[in-house]
Structures are given as C-alpha cells and as structure tokens.
Chains A and B, each alone.
Chain A
C-alpha cells in the first residue's frame, strides 16, 4: 500500500449548533489525485482548512505527511502548494514581487520552472496583481503553488468562475504535478466533468459526512441508470437494494442503481420486474442521486 500523504480520522467540527464535519475519514495516497465533491456548505472548505492547519481538530485526528499540521505548520505548509477560489494573493504586489517573495519563502523554489510558467501563462512581471483579470490572477496563484514543486497540491474550488482556457491550465497543472513521480493532488470542485477527467479517487461529502469514497473507475463501473418494467402497475417505488432516485409510475420505472452489473437481472427478478435498460452514468448523475433529490 502506498504511503498516506493525508490521513483524517473521525474528524468533527461544529460551528455553533451546526456540525460542519461529522466524523469524516479521508485518506490520500502518494501519487494519486483525489477529487473532493459536495454541494456548497457540505464541509469541503472546512476539511481543507484542517489540512492546512488553519483549524484545530475538535475531535478526531488530522495527519499530513504524518504530522499534525497545527503542531508543525512550517513542516507541513512548506510542502503544500495551495490555491483557493479567492486566490488569497497580496493584491498590491506586482507579479515579479510575488515571485521574489514566494521564492524566499519556499526552500524548494525552482526559478527556471517559475520563469517558464510565467511565460506560458503570459504574466508580465510589472503587472499589479490587483489589476489582473480573475483568470490571470488564478494563473499567478497557480504559478506560486507549482513552482516549488510541492509534495502535495491542494486546490479548493480552483476553477470557480474561470473561463475554459484557464480551467484547462489548472487541469494541466494537476496532470503535471501527478506525472512528476511521487507527487499528490487533492482538489475540490463542483465541476464534476473536470473531477472525472483527472481524479483517481472521488470523495463525496454531504452535510459534513462522507457519502461516497471510492476509486473513480469503480464508481463508474458500479453505478448504472436502469430501466425496469413490471407486469402489473405499481403504486409505490420498487424496493430494490442499491437503487436511488426513482422516477416513473405504473409499470415502468427507472433509477440510478449501485451494484455489480452481473447481479442486476437476478435482483430485479426477485421484486418481479424485468430489466429493459442498463447504461453507464456520469458523475453528475451519481452526485445528484446521492444528494438525495428525486429529479434533476
């Protein structure tokens, strides 16, 4: 088993009477890309803040590179490349000042790589961060997050509100990081097509709890859109284990079903139905079904 870069156990966090995190477990293995998905307010950012040591675990434990990020902030932070939706950049700085400042902060800073990223992202040295477009500012943040070749790249909703060209740069950065032997990525996003494109593993949180945690390829193999017919009309939704989000009425019903394809026919026969359709689904469909709504 690969080394665990991130290990969160039974993490609880409450804000007033709200449980923002309610017993969350999360493991990220070295050399993998983990996509963290969930609706706004599900607890993604709160979880990421714990990994950065910005929040102390109320209950449970948080380990990044085997250390507690609250107890050893420099040891942990100097190895994490972080980019958030807001960017958190000092807006009064010029690009060259940001680069110099960051180079001094991170021991592993690679100036050659920083220069090539700056050219690729078309960031002019004397541009003030505050006057850049949102996309260019995201690129500046990405440059800083990448140029010291961090062991862990942590991206919190990096693509939010950005145009497709910048979004592709961000995905490209994830690919490059992972292609560098031994590096690891954790990113949260609600753009599920992007999550599908680059993740090895997907963790879905809902109301502070992990509702799905699996290899992406396995998630895709075990989730199906199924169409069923019954001989007699049914007044209520069929009781099929593993089925979510039923739609339909009378004799024909469809649902999102989670299970091994080979066992579907038999399980449906048990409730007196017949399978007439069984196709793969996108992560979007799976997300909506797990979010607990009946219809899109």
Chain B
C-alpha cells in the first residue's frame, strides 16, 4: 500500500494514514475486498507506533471504509455508489478547505478564487484537446 507519513506535518500521523487510505479508496487504487497490511506490518514498514496504526484503522472502520475481523485482517469494505461518491466529495472537500484557507490568508476574494478555478479548468481542457486524436478535436 502506497502510504507516506511525515512526522513533522501538523496533521497527526493516524490522521495522515486515514486520509491517504481514503484517497486510495476514492481513486480506485484500493477496491472492496482488498486487504490492508497488518497493523504490525505497517508499523514496521512506516516505523510508526502500532497503536497509531490501530487508531487509524479504527477510524476507517468507524467511517465504514474498512471492515476488521479479529485474526483475519482488515479489508476494504464494499460500499454502494452513493456512499462512494459522497466519499470522493469528502476527499476533495479536505483539499478545498486548505485552498480556501490559503486564499483567505492571501486576501484573495472567493469570487476571484472561483475565477482562477475556471481558468485552470480551461487550461487543463486545452491540454487534453492537444493530447487527444484529431477526430475528437473535430467532434469537440
């Protein structure tokens, strides 16, 4: 599982793990039925207190993202489309929060932040079209 922690980050380590597993699930990199590393295994590889890993897994279980059966391991839970979508939104909301906060710090009004978002989206679309084949560009 692709997880990196930085102890110096302002976010507690258990929360960093929760956020990253959430993202891996939202992006489809982890799918229902996938097994998460054992608490001990992940503690060893990240060099992090096993209690911290257990804390993260409990949070994930509480959020319904994983199921844990004693002695059998921790698995990504099967969730319905609506919940999966809500979760993808929650992951994005986390990121947007820091964006909103930063623009407030820089005293950029929210309306201007929205403009920048639109600009960036347009730039990405232009990039996509350059990359796509001719037929798609004509259809567009």
Question: A residues within 8 Å of B by Cβ?
Answer: 31-33, 168, 171-172, 174-176, 178-179, 193-194, 196-200, 216-217, 220-221, 224-225, 227, 276-282, 284
Q: Taking each of A178, A198, A216, A224, which has the highest tally of chain B beta carbons within 10 Å of its own beta carbon?
A: A198
B7 beta carbon closer than 8 Å to chain A: yes
CB of B49, distance to nearest CB on chain A (Å): 5
CB of B12, distance to nearest CB on chain A (Å): 4
Q: In the complex, which residue of chain A has the Cβ closest to the Cβ of B14?
A: A217
Given contacts A175-B49, A276-B105, 11 further A-B contacts (CB under 8 A): A33-B49, A168-B47, A172-B47, A175-B44, A178-B50, A197-B48, A224-B10, A227-B105, A277-B105, A280-B10, A282-B7
Once the chains are docked, how many angstroms separate the CA of A282 from the CA of B10? Answer: 5
Q: Among B12, B40, B43, B44, which residue has its beta carbon within 8 angstroms of that of A216?
A: B12
For B104, what are the chain A residues with a Cβ–Cβ distance below 8 Å?
276-277
CB of B9, distance to nearest CB on chain A (Å): 7
Q: In the complex, which residue of chain B has the Cβ closest to the Cβ of A174?
A: B49
Q: In the complex, which residue of chain B has the Cβ closest to the Cβ of A193?
A: B7
B1-21: CB near A (< 8 Å → 1, else 0) gives 000010111111111000000
The count of A-to-B residue pairs whose CB atoms sit within 8 angstroms is 74
CB of B43, distance to nearest CB on chain A (Å): 5
A-B contact pairs, 6 of them (CB 8 A): A31-B51, A172-B44, A174-B49, A197-B49, A276-B104, A279-B101
Lowest 10 A-B CB distances belong to which pairs? A280-B10, A196-B7, A220-B12, A282-B8, A197-B7, A217-B12, A193-B7, A277-B105, A179-B50, A198-B49
Do residues B50 and A220 form an inter-chain contact, with CB atoms below 8 A? no
CB of A196, distance to nearest CB on chain B (Å): 4
Do residues B49 and A178 form an inter-chain contact, with CB atoms below 8 A? yes
For A33, what are the chain B residues with a Cβ–Cβ distance below 8 Å?
49, 51
Q: Among A168, A179, A199, which residue has its beta carbon within 8 angstroms of that of B43?
A: A179
Do residues B10 and A220 form an inter-chain contact, with CB atoms below 8 A? yes
Known contacts A33-B49, A178-B51, A281 near B7 by CB under 8 Å: no
CB of A158, distance to nearest CB on chain B (Å): 14
For A172, what are the chain B residues with a Cβ–Cβ distance below 8 Å?
44, 47
Do residues B9 and A175 form an inter-chain contact, with CB atoms below 8 A? no
Q: Among A176, A217, A281, which residue has its beta carbon within 8 angstroms of that of B10?
A: A281
Once the chains are docked, how many angstroms separate the CA of A198 from the CA of B50? Answer: 8
Once the chains are docked, how many angstroms separate the CA of A205 from the CA of B48? Answer: 24
Known contacts A200-B49, A200-B51, A280 near B9 by CB under 8 Å: yes
Once the chains are docked, how many angstroms separate the CA of A174 from the CA of B8? Answer: 19
For A178, what are the chain B residues with a Cβ–Cβ distance below 8 Å?
49-51
Do residues A225 and B51 form an inter-chain contact, with CB atoms below 8 A? no
Q: In the complex, which residue of chain A has the Cβ closest to the Cβ of B12?
A: A220
Once the chains are docked, how many angstroms separate the CA of A295 from the CA of B44? Answer: 36
Do residues B49 and A199 form an inter-chain contact, with CB atoms below 8 A? yes
Known contacts A172-B44, A179-B40, A277-B101, A220 near B49 by CB under 8 Å: no
Once the chains are docked, how many angstroms separate the CA of A193 from the CA of B48? Answer: 11
B55 beta carbon closer than 8 Å to chain A: yes
Once the chains are docked, how many angstroms separate the CA of A157 from the CA of B51? Answer: 22
Known contacts A179-B43, A278-B101, A198 near B48 by CB under 8 Å: yes
Once the chains are docked, how many angstroms separate the CA of A178 from the CA of B5? Answer: 20
For A217, what are the chain B residues with a Cβ–Cβ distance below 8 Å?
12, 14-15, 52, 55
Do residues B43 and A221 form an inter-chain contact, with CB atoms below 8 A? no
CB of B66, distance to nearest CB on chain A (Å): 19
CB of B42, distance to nearest CB on chain A (Å): 10
B83-114: CB near A (< 8 Å → 1, else 0) gives 00000000000000000010011010000000
Q: In the complex, which residue of chain B has the Cβ closest to the Cβ of A31?
A: B51
Do residues A196 and B8 form an inter-chain contact, with CB atoms below 8 A? yes
Once the chains are docked, how many angstroms separate the CA of A278 from the CA of B104? Answer: 11
CB of A130, distance to nearest CB on chain B (Å): 30
Once the chains are docked, how many angstroms separate the CA of A55 from the CA of B5? Answer: 39
Do residues B8 and A193 form an inter-chain contact, with CB atoms below 8 A? yes
Do residues B50 and A196 form an inter-chain contact, with CB atoms below 8 A? no
Do residues B49 and A282 form an inter-chain contact, with CB atoms below 8 A? no
